[in-house]
Structure 1
């Protein structure tokens, strides 16, 4: 595996401070200047994107006074992300990933600048906002697989769990801080100020990509041969169909995100269970994100775990159990605690699932598998929203939430019993 940056340090001894670390392990930031720049640039740009996401929703509502129109923002964002997710992964396995990341990040910066220009010019058209959101999703679908596939080329395998934990801090910071800052900036400076700040923050990501070395896919491992030059999406799906451990990373996420996803019920739960309002709904939405952020901040122990398959099974079961417990409580603060606990468990699962995809998948297929990962992450929760809403309408929110959590625990337990190789998976000998 080709890496850049400083020489890889020897693993710390069991008695060293690194082994006793509780907070996130910053070693990847120390050993690789390229990864450090990439992480910082992504963190800044994610916060900027979170600001723009909120600003677009506020502007659409300001123009239309229609919550349905605001809901369409999510649809115009989701569909291109799913459609182009697989394609973006195939492209990332064909071209220089650095150039692809640089081009797609440039596209995102230009689109943010277009939003700012239109707002400064007083051009307030909903169709324009929808079009820009859709194009942003296309650029994101091209950028994310390339960026994720780069990380194993920048760091040795033993540092991948720590790097993925740091990446989770980036994502959850964007989800939490971005909308908060976006609301403040829109309130004081208008939509154009939020869009302009987002466009400026992309320079950090662009600089990080520009400083990277060339990242051509490694086609020397024999998984695809000359076909890797055209990087067929079907080759990635065939690989996934014949590699049970990699496949289980997706099945386990489906258990959590489809069977036990209560997000769509939060408005009804806020009113029916807690007698609350929109502010209560906001707390329910924020609680899993807070837990996820804590999962990244307090992730120092995760690098010591070698049985990643077992860790994923336990984390997904913990998510389901926490959601089931949330469905049984009628105390708001206790409910928020269980949602935060579920968010923490989700981060643990994500860290190990991402690490397995990066370590066990050959380099020339990493982009395509990361594309599948994007589709699963984007589509799974939406299917979960539909399932939870349907069950709640047919029965009750309590049965939908608690039953879904218990179904998640049962399903992941059965998958673990049937996937003994996944249970035995050892990070020191990654096997797809």
Structure 2
């Protein structure tokens, strides 16, 4: 029987469709994703409320800006330490205890907001504490997901995570703005506390995951061992360096208020901030094709290059909708890069190192945007908003090309033949027999 005329379109649609197999096959993955969604929504609402309250209390740009600075050092220290304890202790327990600690930080913010005269220092101290706890939680959560799913589901799992996170990041600020202007900071923190309680109810139902038999006690030495392991792996270093270079040069969120004014559309600033998230959501929903890609290193290089090109083209666009379009393309390319970076991490890193390397990963994708905003502001000071945006995109393309040339093993990485990927598949295949 001959194929129907629309058969090629159906085939294409199947290849693009988001792979939901991880959700169907793993109850624990569903619980972790549900917890992550609820937590992210509540956290984003608080992210909107804290600077809003700081402005109410101080009317100072500097005071508002220092909130992010207060969070930076705890994020770095606790990210590395969180990776070390993720390889030494019960990862599920770390996630639950960290989530409980984050819930208590929101309780502190709520109590402070209900005082007749809320204290400014509480916002800084609690913000730093929350950043540290979140950085402790993240490596264990990623290492836990690696254990509750087969290795060949990692790309699909990252796509689902990205869809959930970016959907929350698009809807969350709008919801947070509405809540804080309607109910005030105390109402926002109260909702965040409620979301943490729901999240904890989901997390305690996640099944216990056995610790690795080669678990290394957490220490400065074990952290250094994790760094040395990463340095010995050019394919891993490629994932970190390409992402940091791409973000440090082309991430330019700090320019958006000025870009909206340049486009004579000051009210479109929210649209510019949302563009990357919209592109990421579209990329996640159409990510089925990524399961058929095996040259993950090359895919990261191409995606990061496309990110830079899209940012550079956005700088040339004459109206806000075309700028939005190319920023959305950039966000989609960044999402695809993240999928393949995550696949390399989860398919090749031995379980005894997974937590420590997750801590390094957290730093690699967190510091890049911070450096990017600093670079964007400095460049704009000399050449203006459009110049800064466009030059950043072009510098990103050049830096990624340099990394691709300097790291041939990363460029040639193939999941079908890579020694580390093969070793991990063999180890996972042997686990049932060994248990």
Length-normalised TM-score, structure 1:
0.90
Partner residue, 2:299 = 311
Q: Does 1:291 align with 2:279?
A: yes
Higher mean displacement: 365-374 or 116-125 = 116-125
Instruction: Indicate which of 256, 263, 277 corresponds to 1:266.
Output: 256
Cα 1:18–1:406 change in 2 (3 A) is closer
Provide the rounded CA distance (Å) in 2 between the counterparts of 1:430 and 1:64: 55
Quote the residue 2:159 is aligned against: 165
Superposition deviation, residue 423 in structure 1: 2.5
Structure 1 CA distance, aligned partners of 2:143 and 2:12? 26
**Counterpart position of 1:138:** 132
Residue matched to 1:215: 209
The 3 A distance-change label for structure 1 pair 127 and 431 is: farther
2:29 to 29, 35, 40: 35
SS at match of 2:16: coil
Larger CA deviation: 78-87 vs 116-125: 116-125
- Given the alignment of the two structures, is residue 125 of structure 1 paired with residue 114 of structure 2, yes or no? no
Give secondary structure in 2 for the equivalent of 1:214.
coil
Higher helix share: 2
Q: 1:202-255, CA deviations, whole angstroms, 9 ceiling, x for partnerless residues? A: 1232233212233354244xxxxx755657110011011110001100011022
CA distance in 1, matches of 2:76, 2:323: 32
Indicate how the Cα distance of structure 1 residues 45 and 424 shifts in structure 2: closer, same or farther if over 3 A, else same: same
Number of positions where the alignment pairs a residue of Structure 1 with one of Structure 2: 412
State the Cα distance separating 1:396 from its structure 2 match.
Answer: 3.3
In the alignment, the residues of structure 2 paired with residue 31 and residue 233 of structure 1 have an alpha-carbon distance, to the nearest angstrom, of 34
Instruction: Name the CA shift for 1:227/1:119 in 2 (closer, same or farther; >3 Å).
Output: closer
1:270-419 mapped onto 2 (5 Å cutoff) = 270-271=260-261, 273-277=262-266, 279-419=267-407
CA deviations over 1:250-276 (Å, ceiling 9, x no partner): 0110221011122222222222x3123
Distance 1:186 1:386, change over 3 A: closer
Q: Helix, strand or coil for the counterpart of 2:204?
A: helix
Report how far residue 35 of structure 1 moved.
0.5
**TM-fit CA distance, 1:325:** 0.3
User: TM-score scaled by structure 2?
Assistant: 0.89
**Contact 2:308–2:393, Cα closer than 8 Å, also in 1:** yes
**Cα RMSD over matched residues?**
2.2
Give the deviation of 1:81 after TM superposition: 0.9
Q: Which position in structure 2 is the counterpart of 1:427?
A: 415
Instruction: Tell me how far apart the structure 2 counterparts of residues 174 and 203 of structure 1 sit (CA, whole Å).
Output: 18
CA distance in 2, matches of 1:429, 1:155: 21
Which residue of 1 is the match for residue 428 of structure 2? none
Contact 1:283–1:336 under 8 Å retained in 2? yes
User: C-alpha separation between the residues in 1 aligned to 2:275 and 2:216?
Assistant: 45
Change (3 A) 1:40 1:342: same
Counterpart CA distance in 1 for 2:400 and 2:312 is: 14
- For 2:98 and 2:263, locate their aligned partners in 1 and report how far apart those are by CA, in whole Å: 44
User: Quick check: 1:95 aligned with 2:89?
Assistant: yes
Whole-angstrom CA distance in 2 between matches of 1:229 and 1:257: 30
1:328 alignment partner, SS class? coil
- Aligned-pair distance for 1:174? 2.5
